[in-house]
Amino acid sequence: MLLELPSPLAVVCHDAGAANHVQAWLQADGDGTDCRVLVDGPAAQLWRQRHPPGRLVASTDEALDGAATLLSGTGWASDLEHDARRMARERGIRSIAVIDHWVNYAMRFERQGRNVLPDEIWVTDPDAADEARRCFPGVVVREQPNLYLQAQVAGIAPVAQAGPDLLVVLEPARSHWGRDTAGSGEFQALDYLGANLPALGLPGGAAVRLRPHPSDPPGKYDAWIAGHRGIGARLDESASLAEAISHCASVAGCESYALVVALAAGRRVVCTLPPWAPACRLPHAGLIHLSQLADPR
């Protein structure tokens, strides 16, 4: 599908979400797309795992030089993608941005009070398309096939082969939810899960496997794990998300895309957002909320 875009194609990604989609589309084209790739952060780690380094460039200028189209992610953890869209606009290069989730759409295109919208937005499901059209009525929105999700689900063992463990997929919350002394949101959700674990009715001896987000620094959850050995807490060391889900019949987290993958793979999926946090914004049916299990009133 990327072969249909005017080329050369500049690809600029930082966060893992959009990078996963872009890599799946490139692979579907047999890696025949004429492109130059600039990646940093979690996206760089993903690229090195799946592609030879030949297409990589070192700067946004190098990626955009002579490009006909820019395909960029829309992560929050860096200005890399935003700056690429700004430079593409200045140079008259067609710009396509990939939104890989269902939250914070407007914030993805704003830095220091300046909005830089692309010419086109790509999403991978109808709910995301509806939200993008609502937020950006003047921008073309296209729904593309979710090849990344398809590949992930294809690589996950059937739930009948999964063990009793609970996989906890983590992500930075970027908020204290009004409780500054309770730690960041991701740790508040972990504490809430630990305190209410019996409500999940896990089998005896089930371990709680923590899988950090690609943007998390090494060791971020070591202290929490050390303090919760009594509930079987340990770090998940699976080589991939598909492998991690394959081992576990249940998956928990806040709003991670990994929850969507687990739902599609037939797992029991639990949102761990505590009652004082904002409501979960994932639109998917079948999601169980720990707050309702812990306090069913």
Q: How far apart are the first and last CA of the chain?
A: 49
> Burial letters for 193-211: b for 16+ Cβ neighbours within 10 Å, e otherwise?
bbebbebbebeeebbbbbb
> How buried is residue 130: exposed, middle or buried, by Cβ count under 10 Å (0-12/13-18/19+)?
middle
Span 55-66, pLDDT tens digits: 899 999 999 999
The model's pTM is: 0.89
pLDDT tops 90 at residue 183: no
Span 65-91, pLDDT tens digits: 999 999 999 998 899 999 999 999 999
pLDDT confidence tier of residue 297, bands split at 50, 70 and 90: low
**For the chain, how big is the Rg over CA atoms in Å?**
20
pLDDT tops 90 at residue 51: no
Q: What is the mean pLDDT of residues 233-249?
A: 96
Instruction: Tell me how far apart the alpha carbons of residues 257 and 262 are, in angstroms, rounded to a whole number.
Output: 9
Span 210-232, pLDDT tens digits: 999 988 999 999 999 999 999 99
For residue 191, which of 199, 183, 202 has the smallest C-alpha distance? 183
Distances (CA, A) of 18 to 13, 67, 107, 297: 7, 20, 16, 39
Instruction: Tell me how far apart the alpha carbons of residues 30 and 3 are, in angstroms, rounded to a whole number.
Output: 10
Q: State percent of the chain over pLDDT 70.
A: 98
* Dihedral over alpha carbons 1, 243, 54, 218 (to 10 degrees): 120
236 vs 112, higher pLDDT: 236
pLDDT tops 70 at residue 101: yes
pLDDT tops 80 at residue 181: no
Distances (CA, A) of 88 to 57, 135, 179, 200: 16, 22, 41, 49
Domains with residue ranges and CATH for the chain:
2-152 (3.40.50.2000), 157-294 (3.40.50.2000)
